[in-house]
Structures are given as C-alpha cells and as structure tokens.
Chain A
C-alpha cells in the first residue's frame, strides 16, 4: 500500500544565508494493506516530516514514495488531491478548520467532496460525532471544542 524508498528531505532557508537543514536521509519502509505501523522516535527525529511527505504536504528532495500506485514525489497537485479525497486520511496534532464553520459541516465535508448526498453525509457525520462522544450541542459550533 505504501512503499518508501531512499527518502531524503532537507530544508533550504534561502533567507538565512541559504542554510541547509538535513532532516531525513535514506529512509526505507513499506506498509501493507491492513497493517498498522507506528513511527516512533525522539522529538526532532523526523517523524512528522515523514508523515507530511506521505500526505504530499512537504516535498521530498530524494527517493520515492508510492501510495496506492502513485509516486507522490512526482505527482501533480490534482493527483495528490484525488489521493487525499479517495485514499488518504490525515489526523493532525492540530486541526486546521475554517473558523465559524460548524463542526458537523467540517466532519461532513470530505464525503460531500466525494459527491455523497448532503443528508447522507450529515447523517454519517452525526453518527461519528456521537460515537466520539462530542456533545450534541457543540455540533453547530467549532469554537467550543478545545483539545480535550
């Protein structure tokens, strides 16, 4: 499902005398369908960087990352967007949501973008929010959900 080969990543800070910060080098691993793999390591080891590259959020400087047959290191933005819509999910440490958009809509949106009918998407979102024990009176507002 996921094949990572010789992955390398560095940041070039052009406005700080072009300092190059190496982050990853020669990373190799693969994940089969149905497998659950944990990336562990101390802070600064590059765990989040790997995750961001897998999601297409960071560019890789070297190597290949093939997810579901698509090499995301060379894929076009459209291909990555399609992969995110249909294949990838991403649970971030920080949820970046649009302010003022109700929680229920935030949760329903990925289904809507797949073309699922509005009532079906909302029902599914309600079901998931209920299962995750998010109080129903918070569904209409994102403001009151904090990091707990």
Chain B
C-alpha cells in the first residue's frame, strides 16, 4: 500500500532557533497519527509545515495525489497546492474563529466549501449543509444564524462540519479540543471518534492532551525541543513509555 503522506527530514528554523528538525514518518490511509509534546516542542510548527501554512527550510512532504500519485507538495505551484487544501485536505484550527467565517451563516460556512469544489445547485448545497449540521449535532433551525451567536463547542463542531463536508482524504487538527470546557471536550471527542471511524479518515492530530490521543490516535509521535523523541503504538507509548521525557509527560497527567 502506498502511504498517503510521506514526510522526509522536515526542518524549520526561526533564525538560530529550531522549530522542528529531522522529522520523518509515513501516514497510511485510514491511519490517525497523534503528535504530543508540551508548548514550544515544535508540534504546531511541524503541522503547519505539513499543511503548507509554513515553508519548511528542508525536507519533503509527499502526498499521494488522486491524479498523479505521490508528489512533493512543496514543489507544486501555489494554485495546485491551494486546490489540494480545498479538496483533499482539511485543517481544523484550535480556535474556530481561524477556521470559520464569522459573518457568514452556519449553513453558508458549510456550503462555501462545497461551492469551492464546484457545487452550484442551491437546493443541493443547502440540503448537504443541513445533513452535516445534523451530523455534528447542530440543530438545523440554527442554519441561518451566524457562528458568532454560537457557543464555543458549537463553533468547533461547525468548523469540523465545514472541513469534512467535501470528504477530504487527510485532516490536520491543531488542538481541536483546546479551548473547550471538559464536558464539551468529551462530547466533541466522541463525535470526532465516530466520524474518524465511519469515514475512515486519515488524520494528524496535534495536542498536548494525552486523553485526546488515547481516544483518537492509532499511533503517536512525542516531540521535545523540535525533535521526535519517541514513536509507537498509542497505547504502548502511553503505558510503557521509553524516553525520559515521555515518562515525565505521562506521569504528569492528573488522575481523577
């Protein structure tokens, strides 16, 4: 099987400081990879390099495109890369405001992605948008309201609907449960887990929350100071951590 994404020796520096370095991995279709580490460990920098939001100084990000097979995303013309990020990729931001258009209705936010990939029939777009709102547990009666009138949890669910409506093959998530209170987080995780399983999504999830990766990720990468210090099956890394930093991370989690 061809990996969906092959990452080779990604390095990003901010002047003399290392953002991330020597990062390589393969992601196969249907796999969910969790990237954990404390703030400043380079996990968000890495995610942004992979998703094309930041230009890495070195390395390759090879995506298995529908039309031409594996291609280095960094060598693609800008237009092609933008097309990819509208069609095959999705990016769920920690802050829904970064991923939503706050002045456009909830239905419009979802419909816009559909129109970006060529949908033109208003009735169909509205119907699909309505279906997706229901999937993410937003009452369709709220379809014409702006997200600014939504709670934080609803905004995040709307952002997820907007991202998944076009059936992306790869989803990047940056702290998707970050700004939410605990009960809302739990519901969002259930929802994400269901969607990931049902749609067979491939995803890369960056988080500092080990509970999130325990539930969602097949395997883990642990980052510290810009480098990957440990990788493995999620439950193995969490239950039998090998690296000093991972042991510290796991033992620092408060047990309720």
Contact = CB atoms under 8 A, between A and B. Distances in A.
29 contacts: A11-B240, A12-B242, A14-B243, A14-B247, A15-B244, A15-B251, A52-B239, A52-B240, A57-B235, A57-B239, A57-B240, A58-B239, A59-B232, A59-B240, A77-B219, A77-B232, A77-B233, A77-B236, A78-B28, A78-B219, A80-B233, A81-B233, A98-B189, A98-B193, A98-B215, A99-B186, A100-B186, A101-B193, A112-B197
A56 B233 contact: yes
Contacts of B197: 109, 112-113
B187 interface: yes
Contacts of A109: 197
Given A77-B233, A100-B186, 7 more contacts: A57-B239, A57-B240, A77-B218, A78-B31, A100-B187, A100-B190, A112-B197
Interface of B: 28, 31, 186-187, 189-190, 193, 197, 215, 218-219, 232-233, 235-236, 239-240, 242-244, 247-248, 251
Given A14-B243, A112-B197, A113-B197, A101 B190 contact: yes
A37 interface: no
B193 A59 contact: no
Nearest to B242: A59
A98 B215 CA distance: 7
A91 interface: no
Contacts of B189: 98
Interface residues of A, number: 21
Contacts of A57: 233, 235-236, 239-240
A20 B4 CA distance: 40
A100 B215 CA distance: 13
Given A57-B239, A101-B190, A112-B197, A81 B218 contact: yes
A13 interface: yes
Interface in A61-89: 77-78, 80-81
Contacts of A80: 233
Nearest to A84: B233
Which one of B215, B233, B240 has the greatest number of beta carbons of chain A within 10 Å? B233
Contacts of B219: 77-78
Contacts of A112: 197
B236 A58 contact: yes
A99 B251 CA distance: 22
A56 B124 CA distance: 47
